[in-house]
A and B are shown apart, each in its own frame.
Chain A
Amino acid sequence: MKWNRFGELIVNKHKIILVIATFVTLAAIFFTSRLKIKTQMMDLLPQKEELVINFNKIMNNFDAFDTVIIGIEGEEQDIINYIKFIEDKVEDVFGVDRVITESQVDFLQKNLILLTEREDLENLETMLTADNLRDFVKGLNENFENSYTSGSDSENLSKDKTELLMMTNTLQDFLTNLKDPNPERSQRIADEFVSGKKYMISPDRSMGLIFARTSISTMDGDGTLKLINGLEEVLFKHEAEFNVEANVTGLHAIQRDELVTTERDMSRSSLISLLLIILIFILGFRLIRYSVMAVIPLILGIIWALALTYILIGYLNLMTMMLGAILIGLGIDYSIHVISLFNERRISGGTVDEAIIFTFEKAIPGVISGSITTALGFFVFSFSSFKGFSEFGIVLGIGIFCTLIASIFVLPSLLKIFGKKRLKQREHNGFMLKFESFIINKRWLVVALILLALAWSFYKMNSVRFETDMMKIEPKGLASIELNKKLIDKFEFTSDTSILVSESIEETRMLKEEFDDLSTVGSIDTIVDYLPTMEEQQERAEYGALVKSKLKSEPSFDLYLDELSEELFRLENNLIELSDLAYVGAEKKIVTYCDTIVNSGIIADLAEDIYAYESNIVSVQKQLISRYQEHIAAANIEETITLENLPDNIKENYLGKDGKIMTTIYPESDVWQEKFQNLHVSQLSPYIKNLSGNLLVMLKVISISGSEGKKVLVWTVILIFIVLLIDLRNFKYATLAMLPMIASFVLLLGIMGTFDIKFTMMSVIALPMIIGIGVDDGIHLIHRYKIEKQLLPTVRSTGRAITMTTLTTIAAFGTLMVSEYRGFIGYGLLLTLGIGLAYLMTVCFLVSLISIVDKVKK
């Protein structure tokens, strides 16, 4: 091909080229502005994946799936006041359909008997039929002993932790009320003994929850942004008035936060890398105008690539978001080559036109073949079944070609206009030459040292692990993630759940029973808890009738102070035993709650000096027992609960538009702990056809990125070796060119193993890239060596270019480490280390090997 013709074309038509480039860029800016960003893990998986199909069905079918969680921190009463005040205002926010602030207390109170298991009804009988405080506390003790201490099994404590903490909470209120009676509090305590707390307040009374149901799907980025921003505006505006602090979490909030953070990260790292590259250019070429000209095609190439991404894909995902940073690092190399050759000719006395034509003759073929190998490296990703990788391959492959086209058409056109200023010949201090002379002189020592480092790396590389904790790639301190952590701590409630979809109530019951037996399942939120079977309801109704028959028309309110004192001591003993049991099981919260009550001395004080509190007991007994018995007397035992008569506000939590039933599975422990995660997935695997949810999607992304990452890596190595064989037409040199890259790869794994750096779903894509980019230095060196036939002149000629391109690449990728999103940090770190090592291996290992293999004289 006659490359000088292309050079002449640029010289003659440079203005037309620049006008066309301007128009193309303007059109590209229009398309780029429409580009969406999707940060969901779901967007990385293939749409035909069963998990994804299920997930989409759930999102479209169940309104309850899309819920924003609002967490309010402060004093209990302030939280309740704030919830009452803000409820209506939250409902008015864009996208909010319904606001849930209270538990299902009315339904639970009404159906207390039908919803309580027969065995528990028997345990509770004394309490349910109590017409005085002695029997009430006696019943409380019996229930305590039967439920917990008689089994001496802290497994139950762990499973029922939140329920138990809530109960000790109510118990504390009950005891306080005996010392300082309050009619309103007595009634509230009676209500709580029947149906739990009305508002969703944490056991430590420091956090409350509001659930906001929304019709906005998390797939709708703009809607999500508007929804969360709207909610925050309302919540933040009034929190100071009530002395509380409100925040939002859930999928929508996390997605909004990720979107904002990743966009900020990318803008920041792109800007810093551009500035660094300009700086390197200024230091390298000593002329600002050339630095600016080098960056222009880069920016144009990125804009064109983004526009093509919009046309072909429509959006950027978590991985393709790094397009800008990667293209800055790689695309600048083309400008370096073009400007280097252009200047070389200008320094030697050539005119601007001659220099452009010379550049096309000498540099452009190499630049094109280099970019083809790089693009091929990226296109290998596009064959992956993991959508995150395939889109990454397509977008980056296109990006490389876009920057290439801008570099060979726009940059020479700019040089034609602005390249008239001639550079001065610079004196080289010959550092590279001295360094490489040293390497050649000490080649055996260098090889020995590298082999030693490789041996160490082989030893350490086995300990390199894949990060199974998805939270470790999220930014630190993200408000939505922090609130999520607090929910786990305060409510034992996590959004890392699995969603089970079943066809019928019967199937749901059967599956619930099976899931109850799985040790990694903590709790199950299901409609069948509100819908006992007909037989169960009948049995409970019969027992309920018996209980009701024992209720007197008017409670006697008899006073048995001595016996009440004994029951209070018994209660204290139960709390002590419960605390000891929890102590051995390392359930610290339960220990603290029980010990706080016991150590406060409130029970001992009441029990020992019971006659001093007689009047208090009389009034509390009347208020509490009356209210409690009202609930028992009013409890429904006549009307069977059916799906049809279940209140709508319960049904809509579980029923889909097509009548299918949604059940939420909460894990027993921290699902990001590797061994627990493996067991949880293994236990859920027999039910996978019915399951989906964020947790399983994230776990799928982790596993698929690991396995696909390996495949892409192997294919990249094979493809690059084939390209090297074709390019160099020599097996020996092709192998030599591969060696520094493989050595740097092994050393990188050794460093990772030594410093416990784990792979993540983001950083795993760095490996094929390190190989693809790292091999370039070796190719340039061997190419030149084959022409020069002498190693030192080769090193002198190519060493500076290799150093410069490595520095610019590291500058671009290294800036990813200033990100907040930790996935980008890990990715930037691996690329920086990998490319730095590839450079070192080329200038040390490859040079030593060539000098040994070709017996180069010292």
Chain B
Amino acid sequence: MKCDGLPDDAHLAGCPSCRRDMEALDRIEELLRTQPRIEWPRELTGRILERARRRPAGFWIPLAAAALFLGTVFAVTRPRPAAPEPVAIDRDALADHVRAVELLAAEPAPDGKVLRIQAERLGLQEAEDRLRRSPVPEPIRLYLDQSSLFVNGGGSNRDLQTTAVNLALHYDLSPRTHSFTSTGNTDPTELYAIGLLQYRTNGGNWTQTMETVAGTSSSYSAHANLQLGRNSLQNGDPVQALAYYSSIGDLAAENAGEIRKAGAQAGPVFVGDRALSALDDLALAGRVRTRSAFAIVASHVVTVLGPREHVDSFRGVEGVQCIRGRAVVDLKAFRHDARVTPQAREVLRIAK
């Protein structure tokens, strides 16, 4: 038997039944190869190029110069028996953690309950000025940079979390919530995305579900992240599963088997400039082993995040800086005869 499940020639020579099956398979393969195809519509190229010209590739506003500003405000009256209405914002910008965010002036929705802010390109100060002039009390300001969403503003936690969860759900951002943070100690986006997932899955009372999530107990978050990790693994996304597993704290020890499985499936992980920030913790001080080291690759610099034994093997090597549990390797300066672990070397070889 060959590696793709098909019988080899030696077997076929002596098995008429398998030969008939193979002939049938060959006919199927021929039909698959000659399936009628849809022609590419020429106007589609024009539409794509038009959209691309409106948003240049590689555009980047430096974090220090102007935290990218997206003002999205929901003013939802209380009590809230139903889930808040979604808000129209630039889907592409949010869904991709895009570097440039477009913002227009605020306008109230007809019923006065939901404020919608559309998008155009603005600098941070001008966007702040526009929001200040908006009629909505206690605006929620969202600062979006390349990898983090900072939630800062007036109103109760519930406003912040409502805002965050609308973003997460409407634009399917929940898989990315590990990159969201807030100015407080909680992570409202993630918790509320979890709450909304629960609400949509299990039904029940919206307000009670949100209040449960608003309790922000770390054990709740850990259990919720464990479930999200399992969902991701089932959906064939082991990299995302590992991102969730990195936030399950003490639950990791009793679930080490499935974490190992995710690690084995993920293999060496290259995530560009999207940081999976807690993966060295995922190594659980040696309690979980994966067959790969996790790395961020940016041009000729590879940041190896873990597991710890692989990071430690870079200490003292030329061309490497060990910073806060990470090994930042400059491939141009790195001594390739340095004695690092085979797994770390494999990551660098793939990264080159």
Do the two chains belong together in a single complex? Answer: no
Chain A interface residues (CB < 8 Å from chain B): none
